[in-house]
Structure 1
Amino acid sequence: MTHDTGGGPAAIPESHQVRFHRRWPALRDPHVRALAWLLYAPDLMAADAPCWEGRIATLGAISPEVAGWLHDLQEDPVLHAALQAHLAHNPSARLGRYAEKLLGFYLQQQGWLVAANLQVRNNQGVTRETLGEFDFLVHPPESADDTSLVHWEFATKFYLLEPRSADDANDADAFVGPNLADSLGRKMRKIMQQQLQLSHHPAAAAVLPAPVTWAGALVKGWLFYRQGMQMALPASMGIAGDHCRGFWCDAQGLREQHQPEDRYLILPRLAWLAPAREPVGRGLALDELLGKLEPGFLVDESPVMVARCRIEPGVEAELIETDRGFIVPPGWEQRAASSVRHAVIGV
């Protein structure tokens, strides 16, 4: 989204943070905000991109009824207790599972959910290995037909672009996970070539309550670009043009872009979904932040997610996220470039 400039120079597009805070000013509960983000945030993959062959699922725009339900979820004690109980059942520290539980609660409340995390096992062999799992089986929301199912393979992903060259920036494998064990290209190949084919396996018939008529990938997330990098991705990559964006840099890079009014939050993994909104007292000055990061990098070489915030005045002043990024430890960039080289050219 851009502002009308009346024929002048193109305006800087609004950040997702600005849009989110404007759309959901009354939401403060972290779980409700995370669910609102899952429903409101743009999809990571472009549903109309030819490379996906029509196999990208989308939740569509939020209706007024769902927007009202989200506010009720925060304010109504009974409904909020139901959410808390749902999250407390088999809790997980994994962000993907947390996001699945939030979305599963929403689908259940809407009456669309048939099954979640339904495993398919091969019972023919000695080991009886697990062949895969249906993330969500739903009745098509737009259809009154309850004799067939739709399979949604759900993923919430965070990738940093580390191209070795300009050509590599056009390859989805140049988007790597913070721990370098995954890439966007690898993840999407697995979803398309394996996970969305699960209903065709003979063993799936034993657990499916009805035939699966369509399977699609529902992918949310954020992509992070080297600080100062301005680039448009080619349409052939199939990434939505309005996807959520952030930056990545090292400690010195953060110093270089710091503004005096900036305050920071270190975001734990389960707080990576929605833009942050926290009490002012939790904010860190730049030197406080770096004082926590630098010794931490000596024992853990993983990048750290940080929200850059401004102070929102009010009866109770709050920190409101304006931008977010991964601060990478020394040597991460070289390791990432090596990971991309192996992925892109198959060494």
Structure 2
Amino acid sequence: MAPPSCRWSPPTTRTTCCASRKTKPRPGATCAWRRPPVTKPQPGAPSAPCGVETYQAAFERRWPHLNHPHVRALAWLLDAPDLLDPASPHWQGRIASFGPMAPATADWLAALEQDPIPLESALGTRHYSRLGLYAEKLMAFYFAEHGQLVAHGLQVRASRNDTVGEFDFLLRDGDDLVHIEFATKFYLLDADAAGANFNGLIGPNLADTLGAKMRKIFDKQLSLAQHPAAQPLLPQPVARAQALVKGWLFYPHSADAASMEGISQPHCNGFWMTLSQAQHLPDGHYTIMPRLHWLAPLKSPANAAMSKQELLAALSDQMTQLSAPVMVTAMQEKREWLVEQRRGFIVPDDWHAQAAQRRQDGTLPA
């Protein structure tokens, strides 16, 4: 067996492309809805060798001064590589992308670290049980602060008891009104079922696939502005409707990150393994990551980690109570902090069999 440090989290490098604009952006603003210049895809590119900087290491090098969890999560949303490749013909120009972050935006994040009260006030005191809603609130704060937000979570109803859909974001881009559907997703590659589509990328709780999610976005959500019930709610016609998708993909611990048409070459990635396979984890510092911390690489006080044996005991207890995947992080000491080195899902031993059964039952797309 190859050294786990070389196989769990294939290193990635960050590349971005700058979207063209018709109008000059506001100071510090970045464009989330322009199509980047078309570049030639690179299918079959080999995964990076051991020793190349991981995404987590690159994030910490770029943002060592960000310690507040909400500010780090927002920085990740703005600066992480896209999950889907906006330049791929597979998406027909309907994927939005942030361009390279402007220095003014980086300065704004640094100032927010020093005074996070505006962000904390925008999030409020409620407990966020859904990671997607938490990420939306972070993005709504960013868009509002940069003068781009027209509406967030605007519901469209055909009648009092008939909800047609909801606009995630309506944004101002110069004279245009733009509709953005926003998603933060985490999928595990079931290599046996991957085939030639995205249904082999499965949500950890076996509730959806990347293929099903994108079909819903493309077939229903991005056409919402065309519904008659939406017309009275819009200040003007929607010029463009696109999806902005961030997230992490997780690959079997014995495999490298796959190269798939439509998936961004530099995407955030990790590993997945069964509870039995987790016995072979190397010794080190570990954490079990709460769901609301899944976005950015984790940074926690140095006394917050557990040993491998403590981790295994905690995983066994959790899966005895609830047979569901758990995200764990391997941490590295850095001064008074522990910073994420790599991440992955530990899944129940029968997770793969559960996925196969759901496909057979028709509750999970094949």
Check conservation: 1:163, 1:337, Cα contact below 8 A: no
Question: What residue in structure 2 maps to residue 83 of structure 1?
Answer: 119
The answer to whether 1:92 aligns with 2:128 is yes
**1:162-200 residue CA offsets vs partner (Å, 9 max, x unmatched):** 1325xx343200111111011100000100111000001
2:191 to 163, 166, 169: 163
Does residue 242 of the first structure (1) align with residue 242 of the second (2)? no
SS of structure 1 residue aligned to 2:333: strand
Q: CA deviation at 1:33?
A: 0.3
* Larger helix percent: 1
Give 1:308's aligned residue.
330
Aligned residues: 322
SS at match of 1:139: strand
Superposition RMSD in Å: 2.1
Report the more deviating stretch, 172-181 or 156-165: 156-165
Give the counterpart letter for 1:21 in structure 2.
Answer: E
Aligned to 1:150: 178
Q: Which amino acid aligns with 1:269?
A: R
> 1:85 offset after TM fit, Å?
0.9
Indicate how the Cα distance of structure 1 residues 231 and 84 shifts in structure 2: closer, same or farther if over 3 A, else same.
closer
Q: Which blocks of at least 5 consecutive residues in structure 1 are unaligned?
A: 4-8
Match of 1:255 among 279, 300, 321: 279
| CA distance 1:303–1:345, change in 2 (3 Å) | closer
The answer to whether the 8 Å contact 1:45/1:240 transfers is yes
Amino acid across the alignment from 2:132: G
Percent identity, aligned pairs only, is: 46
Match of 1:6 in 2: none
Helix, strand or coil at the partner of 1:43? coil
State the shift of 1:233 in Å: 2.4
Give the match for residue 327 of structure 1: 346
2: CA distance, partners of 1:2 / 1:245:
11
Deviations 1:236-255 (A, max 9, x none): xx111111001000233223
Asked whether the 8 Å contact 1:37–1:274 carries over to 2, the reply is yes
Q: How far has the Cα of 1:90 moved from its partner? A: 5.2
Aligned with 1:221: secondary structure? strand
Partner of 2:148: 112
TM-score, normalising length: structure 1: 0.88
Structure 2: unaligned runs, 5 residues or longer = 1-11, 15-46
Change (3 A) 1:108 1:182: same
For residue 84 of structure 1, what is the amino acid of its counterpart? E
Distance 1:345 1:118 in 2: 29
Q: What displacement does 1:210 show?
A: 1.8
Are 2:212 and 1:186 aligned? yes
Offset, 1:75 = 0.4
- Residues of 1 paired with 2:281 and 2:188: CA distance? 19
- Whichever residue aligns with residue 18 of structure 1, its letter is A
Alignment of 1:167-178 (within 5 A): 168-178=194-204
Q: Which moved more, 1:218-227 or 1:84-93?
A: 84-93
